[in-house]
Structure 1
Amino acid sequence: MKFEKYGDIAAGGVVAAFSILGLAYLVPIGVKSPPNVSVAPLAPPFWPSIILWMMLGFAALIVLKGIYGMSRADSAGDAPSDAEAPADKDTDSTMNARVTRTAIAVVLLFIYQAAIEPIGMVLASIIAGLAFTFLAGERRYRFFVPVAVLLPIVLYYFFTKIAAIPIPLGFFEFIEF
């Protein structure tokens, strides 16, 4: 299959293009920064830029992985051509499972975004963390449940107490943390 051969390179290229678009156009044009921000990490464009730079770096790694995998398969000579590859039903079912999980993840993102205002960002993030980790196939509850619960709480305290950025609490607004 062509996608299996060039999939990493194509995916890395798409992510790299999106990252470059964000760094060159979206963040400078779309994120306004007040002139009186003295600490760079508190400036509005800082974290989107950091995330986009990280995306660009990971995209480059994915492209390099794809190039390395292609050159390794070509030099080994053990990669079957498209004509020699057997028609495998497992490949179709695996692809269907991936598409289904991706569609579920997109729906979960919309549900998460809609749940932030009524139930608050902390509780919505805890539920989303549990759901996405379970969807990804992790079944070691003793590892992912504490992370899914503690990470949103720690981030809430960081943003509200250190960075002085209000976080919506939904119906928990009456609780003074």
Structure 2
Amino acid sequence: MTIRLKEISIGLFVLALSFLLIVFLIPEGVPQPSRLREGQISPRFWPLIATSILLISGLVLTAMAWFEKEKGMASDAEDGDEPLPPMQAVTGLVVGCVLLAGYLWAMTRVGMVVASALGILLLGYAYGERRWRILVPVALLLPVALYLFFVYVAGIPIPDPLARMVFRAIF
């Protein structure tokens, strides 16, 4: 099977999944109150935003694969690309699952912001990022920026007592 055909198949699968989510799963699975207060966001808002991004990604992937000129085979590797040994792939999957379970555990103990910073740092390192001057600022700034955006700009409360205490003292 050619790479192009695989990419088209993946793109069409992503499109089908997003249509399933938009048409059936979100309307059936996410309850919608009959009335919303002024300024209140519908519970379906963020799932629909995420699914719309998924839909656009599927469209772009399908279109790029469809109009691609070069038709390489799946066995054709670019210079320097080597297939990942199966044992290393399984080890990476297990490490990722353990780190995500640890993230969930840490989130209930130290809050979302600190757990997310540690999670980004550990997952980034576990999956090969060794540039500390990039990894550390991203791990520290991204969770803080997202927390500040959702709490102070979007008005969506995030239950994180530690971050609330720190940011109330600052702002």
TM-score, structure 1 normalization: 0.71
What is the one-letter code of the residue matched to 1:159?
F
Match of 1:30 in 2: 29
Matched, 1:117 2:108: yes
Quick check: 1:37–1:43 contact (8 Å CA) kept in 2?
no
Task: Describe the shift of the 1:111–1:58 C-alpha distance in structure 2 as closer, same or farther (beyond 3 A).
Answer: same
Alpha-carbon deviation of 1:144?
2.6
Task: Describe the shift of the 1:112–1:141 C-alpha distance in structure 2 as closer, same or farther (beyond 3 A).
Answer: same
Alpha-carbon deviation of 1:96?
4.8
Match of 2:79 in 1: none
Match of 1:133 in 2: 124
Q: How many residues align?
A: 161
In terms of fraction of residues, the more helix-rich structure is 1
Percent same amino acid at aligned positions?
A: 32
Match of 1:158 in 2: 149
Unaligned runs of 5+ in 2: 76-81
Cα deviation, 1:92-125, whole Å, max 9, x if unaligned, reads 62x5544543443344333323332122111111
Alpha-carbon deviation of 1:29?
1.8
Give the RMSD, CA atoms, in angstroms.
3.1
Cα deviation, 1:17-67, whole Å, max 9, x if unaligned, reads 222221112221222233224347x32211211111111111222223333
Quick check: 2:2–2:73 contact (8 Å CA) kept in 1?
no
SS in 2 for 1:44: coil
Match of 2:83 in 1: 91
Picking from 67, 70, 73, the partner of 1:72 is 70
Task: Describe the shift of the 1:102–1:37 C-alpha distance in structure 2 as closer, same or farther (beyond 3 A).
Answer: farther
Task: Describe the shift of the 1:57–1:33 C-alpha distance in structure 2 as closer, same or farther (beyond 3 A).
Answer: same
Partners of 2:98 and 2:5 lie apart in 1 by: 28
Partners of 1:132 and 1:6 lie apart in 2 by: 31
Partners of 1:81 and 1:129 lie apart in 2 by: 32
Partners of 1:36 and 1:131 lie apart in 2 by: 40
